[in-house]
């Protein structure tokens, strides 16, 4: 398969596709990432992942990121986790985030690949329902 075909797969994916190198610099940012996070490809590529990680979560994010890069694997492989993220307008959004470590043909770590989808509306609706159920259980 040629590079144009692979680029089309990434760009046309309905989920955000983000690849960051071992230092956390964004190298790939597709159209869905633009839509979900609000940053253009030009703004995102070359930027640090802090662009979309809320400040209060950065320390834990980098601790986990560096450990996964160092070990060449993540305990979250094959899983999507709900997490908070930052939108370009400064608001916090919720995304389901999948994360994997990418190895080259010699099995050297070259970075991390993430896919994300916006779950903000669903997350807020679920939180409202949970709160209402809690209130009803107290009655």
pLDDT in tens, 64-87: 999 999 999 988 888 899 999 999
What is the Cα–Cα distance from 28 to 56, expressed in whole angstroms? 25
What is the Cα–Cα distance from 125 to 139, expressed in whole angstroms? 22
Q: What is the mean pLDDT of the chain?
A: 93
pLDDT computed for residue 135 by the predictor: 83
22 pLDDT higher than 80: yes
* CATH 3.30.450.20 for the 3-138 domain, yes or no: yes
Domain boundaries, the chain: 3-138
Structure letter (DSSP) for residue 14: S
24 pLDDT higher than 80: yes
Locate 36 and state its tokens.
Answer: 């979900």
């Amino acid at each position: 398969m040629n590079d144009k075909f692979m680029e089309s797969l990434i760009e046309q994916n309905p989920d955000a596709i983000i690849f960051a190198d071992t230092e956390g610099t964004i190298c790939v940012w597709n159209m869905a990432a633009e839509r979900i996070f609000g940053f253009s490809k030009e703004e995102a590529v070359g930027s640090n992942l802090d662009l979309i990680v809320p400040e209060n979560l950065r320390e834990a994010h980098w601790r986990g990121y560096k450990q996964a890069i160092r070990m060449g694997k993540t305990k979250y492989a094959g899983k999507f986790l709900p997490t908070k993220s930052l939108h370009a307008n400064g608001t916090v959004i919720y995304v389901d985030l999948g994360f994997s470590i990418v190895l080259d043909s010699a099995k050297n770590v070259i970075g991390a690949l993430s896919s994300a989808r916006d779950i903000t509306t669903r997350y807020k609706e679920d939180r409202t329902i949970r709160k209402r159920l809690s209130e009803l259980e107290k009655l």
